[in-house]
Structure 1
Amino acid sequence: MDVRLAEKEGFAGLFLRLRAEGLADKSLLTALEQTPRTLFLSAAYSDCAYQDRLVPIDCGGFAESADLVARLIVALGIEPGHRVLDLGTGSGFLAAVAARLSERVVTVDRFKTLIQLAQQRFAHLGLGNVVSRQADGLKGMNGEGSFDRVIATCAFDAMPRQFVDQLASGGVMLAPMLQENGKARMVRLTKIGSRFEREDLFEVPYRAFIPGVAAAL
């Protein structure tokens, strides 16, 4: 099938699923439509780019579905003018969609390969407001100023209090938290003064954070 046709049909299916969930915000749908999902996956998985499933990517990782990306961005509440920190670049798809809704996105990953591939994809799409860094996501991005929104796609085993100082007043962080059963639940943390107000959301497929920067890949 022609890639453009596959994109068009895939997005149409995504649109219907999101609308059924009540996620029909025009700016979100436009950002998704302008960010071709197949560009962020290898050719071997282009046929399942818009399926609601995990898709393997380089360095032993996976890309979450476009459906989940949409749910996360809605929960994050990105607005024009926001500065966003994305912990766990992966394929770069989430950062690319977020960049269309915000002023600036800083995305970090421990794998150099994933950062390089994501940079190529951002450049191809002309997204000049995304900065990619190879770094330890557990430490955040000191020196970049404060962020209005932070999203992590790796799971924490304890409340990520180290990010309080990296969030602007009233800022929001989405952080997967490991549960006793080994699965992760996304929680929304809103900065109130010097503490977080926590709201549990939904289960997510993310793995535990691995500290440090990868020595290979």
Structure 2
Amino acid sequence: MTGRVIEKEGFAALALRLRGEGISDLELLTAVEQTPRTLFVPPQFSGDAYSSRLLPLDCGAFMEGIDLAVRLLYILNLKSGQRVLEVGTGSGFTAAVMGRLTERVLTIDRYRTLVSGAQQAIEKAGLRNVVVRQVDGSNGMTGEGTFDRILVTAAFPALPRFFAEQLVSGGMLVAPVMVSETECRMLKLVKTGSRFDREDLFTVPYLPIVPHVAQAI
């Protein structure tokens, strides 16, 4: 099966599944369709690019199934003109889709190998407003100003308030938190003035965040 056929059939099946979940945002779905996921998955898993299963990446990382990825993007309610921070670049797919919907995306990861691979895939996808950096994201992103949206894909032991402080008023943080040794839950935090409104969303498969930049990989 060629890459083009995988993309076409995979997206069509995805759109049907998402519609069943009540996700029919045309701008979001168009951004997903315009971002070929086969550019971001390891070549040996290209046939699973549009599946809901976790796919392994280098450095012991993984990319979430596309259903979960789009579900998170839908929750973020991304709009033109927004600045977005993503903590945990992974394959770069989510950052690329966000780049089609917003003004600027800064995505960070501790692994040089993942940063390099994501950068190449994002460039192939034709995105010029997505910046990929190798950074330790375990203690926030000082010196980068504020963001309209922050998406975290590595689990913290508690809601990372240092990221919440980098939100503009009306901004949103979506982040996974380890609620027990074995369960990780996605939480949403919306900032209104100096007040934060928290919502518990659903269980996710993300791994605990690891501090420091990886030196060897």
Fold match by TM threshold 0.5: yes
1:11 maps to what in 2? 11
1:194 maps to what in 2? 194
Distance 2:3 2:132 in 1: 27
2:106 maps to what in 1? 106
Return 163-172 or 127-136, whichever deviates more: 163-172
Distance 1:79 1:60 in 2: 32
Root-mean-square deviation over aligned CA pairs: 1.1
TM-score, normalization: structure 2?
0.97
The unaligned stretches of length 5 or more in structure 2 are: none
Alignment of 1:33-182 (within 5 A): 33-182=33-182
Shift of 1:76: 1.1
Q: Is the 8 A contact 1:164 1:195 kept in 2?
A: no
Q: Is the 8 A contact 1:89 1:115 kept in 2?
A: yes
Shift of 1:216: 1.3
Shift of 1:170: 1.6
**2:162 partner amino acid:** Q
Moved over 2 A (4+): 192-196
Distance 2:29 2:64 in 1: 17
Shift of 1:65: 1.1
**1:161 partner amino acid:** R
2:183 maps to what in 1? 183
Shift of 1:168: 0.7
Distance 1:20 1:146 in 2: 35
Corresponding pairs, count: 217
Distance 1:121 1:115 in 2: 10
Q: Is the 8 A contact 1:88 1:108 kept in 2?
A: yes
Q: Is the 8 A contact 2:164 2:173 kept in 1?
A: no
TM-score, normalization: structure 1?
0.97
State, as a whole percentage, how many aligned pairs show the same letter: 56
Distance 2:205 2:195 in 1: 27
Distance 2:2 2:175 in 1: 38
Please give the secondary structure, in 1, of the residue aligned with 2:101: coil
Distance 1:26 1:195 in 2: 31
Distance 2:138 2:170 in 1: 21
Distance 1:88 1:122 in 2: 15
2:213 maps to what in 1? 213
Return 180-189 or 15-24, whichever deviates more: 180-189
